[in-house]
Amino acid sequence: MTGTRERGDGRRRVMVTGYGAVTPLGHCVDETWTAMLAGRSGIDTVDTIDVTDLGVRIGGQVRGFAPGRYMPPRVSRRADPYAQYALAAALEACEHAGLVIDEEMAPRVAVIIGSGYGPVGSIYRAADILRDKGPRAISPFTQVTTAMDSAAGEISMRLGTQGPSRAQSTACASGADAVGAGMRMISHGEADVVLVGGADACVTTVDLAGSGNARALSRRNDDPTAACRPFDVHRDGFVMSEGAAVLVLESAEVAERRGATPLAELIGYGASSDAHHWTAPHPEGRGACLAVEAALRDAGTTGSEVDYVNAHGTGTQLNDATETAVLHKVLGDRVNRIPVSSTKSMTGHMIGAAGAVELVASIQVLSTGDVPPTINCDEPIDPDINFVPRQAQHHAGVRIALSNSFGFGGHNAALIVRAV
User: pLDDT tens-digit profile of 403-419?
Assistant: 999 998 899 999 999 99
Query: What pLDDT does 1 receive?
Result: 46
Could you say which DSSP state residue 13 is in? Answer: P
377 is catalytic: no
| C-alpha to C-alpha distances, 280 to 86, 180, 410, nearest whole angstrom | 29, 24, 8
Going along the chain from its start, the domains and CATH numbers come out as 15-258 (3.40.47.10), 269-419 (3.40.47.10)
The tens digit of pLDDT for each residue in 182-222 reads 999 999 999 999 999 999 999 999 999 999 999 999 999 99
Query: What pLDDT does 273 receive?
Result: 95
H-only helix segments in 79-119: 81-97
Helix, strand, coil shares of the chain, percent, nearest 5, are 40, 20, 40
Query: What pLDDT does 7 receive?
Result: 76
Query: What pLDDT does 4 receive?
Result: 72
H-only helix segments in 214-339: 252-258, 286-299, 317-331
Give which of 144, 177, 157, 153 is closest to 295, Cα–Cα.
177
Q: Which residues of the chain have pLDDT under 70?
A: 1-3
Active-site residue, selected from the candidate residues 172, 202, 228, 377: 172
Query: What pLDDT does 408 receive?
Result: 87
Confirm whether pTM is higher than 0.85: yes
Query: What pLDDT does 9 receive?
Result: 78
Helix (H) or strand (E) holding 74: helix 73-78
Query: What pLDDT does 347 receive?
Result: 98
